[in-house]
Structure 1
Amino acid sequence: MATAKIVTWSRKDKNGNFPIGIKVSQNGIPAYLFEGNAIASRDHWDSGKQQVKKTHPHAMRLTNFLTKKLSEVNEKILEFETDKKTYSAEDIVNAIKPKPVQAPPPPPKLPLFKDVADNHLREQKALGNYDVHKTDKSRLKRFYEFAGENVTFPEITVEFLRRYTVFLKTERNRNKKEQKSLSDRSVTNHLLAIRTLYNRAITAGLASKDNYPFGGRERIMIKFGKTEKIGLVGDEINLLKQYKFSKKQAHLHHSRNIWLVCFYFAGMRITDALLLKWSDFQNGRFYYTMSKNGEPGSLPIPPAIAAILEEYKNEPKTHDLVFSYLKCLENLDDRYALRRRINSVTRLIGEHMAVIMELLDINKNASPHKARHAFAQRAEEKEIHPKVLQGMYRHESILTTMGYQSNFSHKKMDEALEAVIDF
């Protein structure tokens, strides 16, 4: 069984005093417990009584402290003996020594919004989604101008987003030559990008649902305002179709042709028109799978389209494409390069169509997507059943078709207005 007693050290410490503490011995091997107490001279120590002599200025206090510590050591020895543990004098001393106070671990570092955003951009680029990568990168650039790059998700509160909305509405559109503020739809798209990334962070366990600032009462509601969709009417399309371009206007001629292809093929999207292949035409019909949703289908070939196809029949067939806008690409398998080129060509065709509208003295936007609006407007005027249009548009839900066509449905409202004011 170990023994313990109060002792003084025989050598002076760095302050010239003699340390005083507890010596524990087990099997002849000692260990010492010194806790900073010392006496100026060994003459103040009574080794027989194992206590500080009364000549010491703090004899009573120091003796009481050492006696209490000795008692604590003896209790620990009994505890070890009772538990029948194999122990050493060092084990006893270590069990008595006060445990060092450990500083609390630093709070976990909150994930940055930018970390999630950067990962999103990398994924979109890897997937070849050029349009998404480009637009989201631009929107995030504005967000960092407002919030900085070290903003965390808990900081993106309702009030934070309200201030961000004000910032956006007073911001200038860098994509316009004139100093024009961002449109309401652009502001909505910027907020939508933040919401998408916040949802992604919640799914990944990087943000809490409790702090979610979107939706519900007293939170940020994202609403998509309706915009007026105006397409070219029949007479305007005939003017466009019949206009004769000079040789110097060949670029306008080709842009007009692809716009007409989009219109006559039920408002085909420009991406699908640019990817139009000769092999898509079989047995007098046009077969293609819509790139946006992967829906297959076929349509008859209108005479106006047959005439346009005849014009390109003897052209070099790069990648088997009808139109040559994508011939600069080595192949069509690099989705990112493909989408980047399509984006550039779409913008170019839009610029050409703006020039053509000036030539025709038509004060309307005739961008490639407006060909889809023109078809929808004509379909509404001809009262084509939504179920038929659903198949032509390749919509999965009839509600999508009905919602889209509602943008062009004016007949009943016009008749109602006339009925009310006709007196």
Structure 2
Amino acid sequence: MIRATIKIVLDGKPMANGKHAVYLRILKNRKQKKISLGLYCLKTHFDNEAFTKHHPSYQTENEILLNLKSRALKIIRAFKINGQDFTLNEFEDEFRGIKKNQNIKVIDFFKEIIEEMTRAGRISNAKAYNDTKNSLIKFKGKHFVFKDVTPAFLEKYEVFLRENGNKNGGIAFRMREFRAIFNKARKRKIIPKEPYPFEDYKISKLKIEANKIALTLEEYKRIKSVDLVKKPHLLEAYNYFLFSVYTRGMNFQDMMHLKWSNIRNGRIYYTRSKTKGKINLEIIPPVQKILDYYKAQNRPTEYVFPILLHTDLSPKQIAYRKQKVLSRYNSKLKEIAKLASVDKRLSSYVARHSFATILKMKGASIEKISEMMGHTDVSITAAYLKEFADEDLDIENRIFIDL
């Protein structure tokens, strides 16, 4: 039950000219908010929520007060009729005419956010949002608005996604993207905070099974010894994959930004792009061999790998370059897997997972590797890493020298 009271009051503190500001006070759940009405008077000219006859233009201004109080009561009544709870700030926005427009089309707002991400160089995020946007268009068209999105709407969207072959993981991904858009609209005060359909529709109910793909020790050896004499175009992908495995599963983003200045005194020092954790690892001989290969290319850039070809690229150019090279890299890894008779969908992530899995198979402590590449939350992985000395991890990492 929504309980709120409205009253016209004077501010207790007079201004320099001796007059007091007139406020509309709303009291709700033992909390109050005073909204200035732009009217002022002497304390002796105000009584019982109205100006006395001694106040100049008291009749006109009393009529204004009645209209303002009436508007406030209508707003509260509208909230009650709609069964919609409200905050004091939301009441003030309604009272002042700062109306949150739930009639804004969801797809239009999606496009606005996608454009912002694209300009900021967040191409992967923009693509993910665009895919969700297109999915919603197929489900409901282009013209539905935020107020149409209810828990029932989300349940039906989930059914639509299942009918189109999506499993829990894919559905949860789409729902998280949709929820993020909803939250952005609320944060920007484009729509009110309530109602909030994702309070009743729980994305957490979509249990996601881990979908780790990792090479066995035997598969790893086949990849490592694959003959590329007749397939020189695959050498780049081969080097990237092995380098990732050898360097504790360094991800593609970090490899892309790795600079020669990160390499000192036989070690690699870098900051992980996802967790911002500091990594300090020994350069084992197989890693040195790959580094020597790229050093010999004598390219005029500070980057180790020929992924970013210039140092003055904009964020957008970097994002496009990453997407282009990563796509090519993953495509070539599938060719390598076929040549090596490995029946797994090889990708850059498989290198990260294989690092942890192979160490486990070779008897490394689970506490040390923490099966980290299988965690969905990379911050957990970083937390485990911090518990062990770099030297300890170096010892485990040397396993790859003689494989």
The one-letter code sitting in structure 1 at the alignment partner of 2:341 is D
Amino acid corresponding to residue 213 of structure 2 in structure 1: I
For the residues of structure 2 that align with 1:116 and 1:269, how far apart are their CA atoms? 32
1:230: Cα distance to partner?
2.9
Listed as ranges, the matches of 1:186-265 within 5 Å are: 186-216=170-200, 221=204, 223-246=206-229, 248-265=230-247
CA–CA distance in 2 between the matches of 1:396 and 1:204?
28
Q: Would the aligned equivalents of 2:226 and 2:339 in 1 still touch at CA under 8 Å?
A: no
Q: Distance in 2 between matches of 1:325 and 1:219?
A: 40
Q: Deviations over 1:359-414 (max 9, x none)?
A: 11111122011100001212333342535669999954469759xxxxxxxxxxxx
User: Partners of 2:345 and 2:172 in 1: how far apart?
Assistant: 22
Alpha-carbon distance change, 400 to 183 in structure 1, aligned in 2, over 3 angstroms: farther
**1:209 Cα offset (Å):** 3.9
Residue ranges of structure 2 left out of the alignment (5+ in a row):
1-52, 58-96, 386-403
| Superposition deviation, residue 224 in structure 1 | 4.7
Alpha-carbon spacing, 1:397–1:190, altered in 2? closer, same or farther (3 Å) = closer
Q: Say if 2:342 is the partner of 1:325.
A: no
Which residue of 265, 285, 295 corresponds with 1:283? 265
Contact 1:169 1:183 in 2 (8 A): yes
Query: Identity over the aligned pairs, expressed in percent?
Result: 25
Residue 139 in 1 paired to residue 132 in 2?
yes
Q: TM-score, normalised by structure 2?
A: 0.63
More deviation in 199-208 or 379-388?
Answer: 379-388
- Contact 2:100/2:190 (8 A) holds in 1: no
The size of the alignment, in residue pairs, is: 288
Match of 2:268, SS state, is strand
One-letter amino acid of the structure 1 residue matched with residue 173 of structure 2: N
2:342 corresponding residue in structure 1: 362
Specify whether residues 226 and 282 from structure 1 end up closer, same or farther in structure 2 by C-alpha distance, changes over 3 A only. same
User: 1:347-358, aligned counterparts within 5 Å?
Assistant: 347-358=327-338
Q: Which residue identity does 1:376 align to in structure 2?
A: A
In the alignment, which residue of structure 2 is the partner of 1:386? 367
SS of match in other structure, 1:211: coil
Q: 1:332 to 1:138 in 2, by over 3 A?
A: farther
- Structure 2 Cα separation of the partners of residues 113 and 148 of structure 1: 10
Equivalence map 1:50-65=2 (5 Å): none
Change (3 A) 1:315 1:224: farther
Structure 1: distance between partners of 2:263 and 2:202: 52
Measured against aligned partners, the alpha-carbon deviations of 1:325-378 in whole angstroms (never above 9, x if no partner) come to 332xx4354112212211221121111111111111111122011100001212
Query: Aligned pair in 2 of structure 1 residues 219, 301: CA closer, same or farther (>3 Å)?
Result: closer
Change in Cα spacing, 1:399 to 1:269, as seen in structure 2 (3 Å) is closer
SS in 1 for 2:231: helix
Q: What is the distance in 1 between the residues matched to 2:358 and 2:384?
A: 14
The one of 276, 281, 287 equivalent to 1:294 is 276
Matches within 5 A, 1:7-22: none
The answer (yes or no) to whether the contact 1:350–1:366 under 8 Å persists in 2 is yes
**Paired residues of 1:357 and 1:363 also in contact (CA < 8 A):** yes
**3-state SS of the aligned residue for 1:320?**
coil
* Aligned counterpart, 2:150: 157
Deviation at 1:260, TM superposition (A): 0.5
Output aligned runs, 1:5-154, within 5 Å.
109=101, 110-154=103-147
Report the Cα distance in structure 1 between the residues aligned to 2:211 and 2:372, rounded to whole angstroms: 24
> Partner of 2:162 in structure 1?
169
Give 1 or 2 for the bigger CA radius of gyration: 1
Cα distance in structure 2, aligned partners of 1:304 and 1:168: 45
State whether structure 2 residue 248 is matched by structure 1 residue 266: yes
- Does the CA-based 8 Å contact 2:169-2:208 persist in structure 1? yes
Provide closer, same or farther for how the CA distance between residues 277 and 228 of structure 1 changes in structure 2, counting only shifts above 3 A: same
- Could you tell me which amino acid in structure 2 is paired with residue 119 of structure 1? E
Change (3 A) 1:309 1:287: same
CA contact (8 A) 1:266 1:375 kept: yes
Q: What amino acid does structure 2 have at the position aligned with 1:122? A: E
Q: Using the TM superposition, name which of 295-304 and 142-151 deviates more.
A: 142-151
| CA distance in 1 between partners of 2:202 and 2:345 (Å) | 36
Please point out which of 155, 159, 184 is paired with 2:168. Answer: 184
Does 1:312 pair with 2:294? yes
- Aligned residues: CA RMSD: 3.2
